[in-house]
Amino acid sequence: MIDLRNNIADIIGITIPEAASDMKYQVLESTKEDGYTRQLIKYDSCGDEVSAFLLLPELLDSNPAVLINHQHNREHHLGKSEVCGLAGNPLQAFGDALAKRGFVVLAPDSICFEQRRIEPGVEGFDFWQHFDVMCYGIVTGNYLMKKVLEDAMNGITLLTCLDFVDGKRIGTLGHSYGGNTVLFLAALDERITFSCASGSACTYENRMRNNVGIEMASVIPNFHGKYDIYDLVSCIAPRRLLIVSAEEDKYSKDASYIVEKASPAYLELGALQNLLHKRYSGGHDMTKERFDFIMDWFSSNYAKSG
């Protein structure tokens, strides 16, 4: 899978990180919550300032860590705050739940969301800023997906630099837009040892056949001519991956097909048990049943013991 991973990285224009470099961040404020402390931080990512929440459990000693990528939902005013249960849908508050289970959590704002908008804090669907960033990237060859992944990889680097984090237990999680980021990120960054992508496993082919929109970061020129989502999943092998999908969710419509196509890569490495697909009835929105299953999967496999 090394050649496949390198080829996908080349077409996106991204350099695969080989080792953690030093990553500094500034703490802007700190708030004590039930079971953990939430820090508002900022750090540099390729010349851009990223705003994020860093959630620190009460006991810090070789903790597992998770980078959580927020959803889209046409709510550009929500990013890290929804992940941490401060706004939006409580069923997107993965960060709060995982921090209480002993995970160190990094929840950054993606480009064009929350504090990375032209007008931070203003509610609404800020389509044009996001659209312009995509267009400028295509014109210059610095695709939006490249920016999204560079920011996410720098988040992973930040986690690896924390001396209380177990570098062999670093994961990533996301729903919808966040889940799509997970699939690309985990495919290319081997520092990630476990991942969960919810509501996001759908091939380009299926989307185009069924007139389903393609999220702006996934508009990568010439990508679909050579690759599709199952190639990303194949690149994640043999590492653990949980894919959550639903029968009536157009954004995870053919998740079963993706898992089928990627299974040989896991089988070849003797790790088929590490590829788990959980299929539900219903639509795209996160449900309590799915939320609880995801949290239980993280806790049973990676929660800090002792």
Q: What angle do CA 222, 2, 159 make, to 5 degrees?
A: 95
Q: What is the pLDDT of residues 211-225, one digit of tens each?
A: 999 999 999 999 998
Phi first, then psi: give them for residue 28, nearest 5 degrees.
Answer: -95, -35
**What global pTM score does this model have?**
0.95
Q: Would you say how long the chain is, in residues?
A: 306
- pLDDT at position 305 is 42
In a domain, 233, yes or no: yes
Average pLDDT across the chain, whole number: 93
3-state secondary structure 7-58: HHHHHHCCCCCCCCCCCCCEEEEEEEECCEEEEEEEEEECCEEEEEEEEEEC
Q: Which domain holds residue 215?
A: 2-300
In a domain, 89, yes or no: yes
Short-list 188, 134, 155, CA closest to 68: 155
What residues contact 301, with CB distance under 8 A and at least 6 apart? Answer: 194, 240
In a domain, 27, yes or no: yes
In a domain, 98, yes or no: yes
Q: What is the pLDDT of residues 88-147, one digit of tens each?
A: 999 999 999 999 999 999 999 999 999 898 876 656 667 888 999 999 999 999 999 999
Domain count, the chain: 1
Phi first, then psi: give them for residue 152, nearest 5 degrees.
Answer: -65, -40
Alpha-carbon dihedral 154, 156, 162, 168, rounded to 10 degrees: -150
In a domain, 305, yes or no: no
Sign of CA dihedral 99, 101, 104, 109: negative
Average pLDDT value for residue range 65-90: 95
Q: What is the pLDDT of residues 22-44, one digit of tens each?
A: 889 999 999 999 999 999 999 99
In a domain, 82, yes or no: yes
What residues contact 273, with CB distance under 8 A and at least 6 apart? Answer: none
- pLDDT at position 18 is 64
In a domain, 306, yes or no: no
DSSP-derived secondary structure for 216-243: GGG--TTSTTT--HHHHHHHHTTSEEEE
Query: Residue 31 maps to which CATH number?
Result: 3.40.50.1820
159 and 65 Cβ atoms separated by less than 8 Å: yes
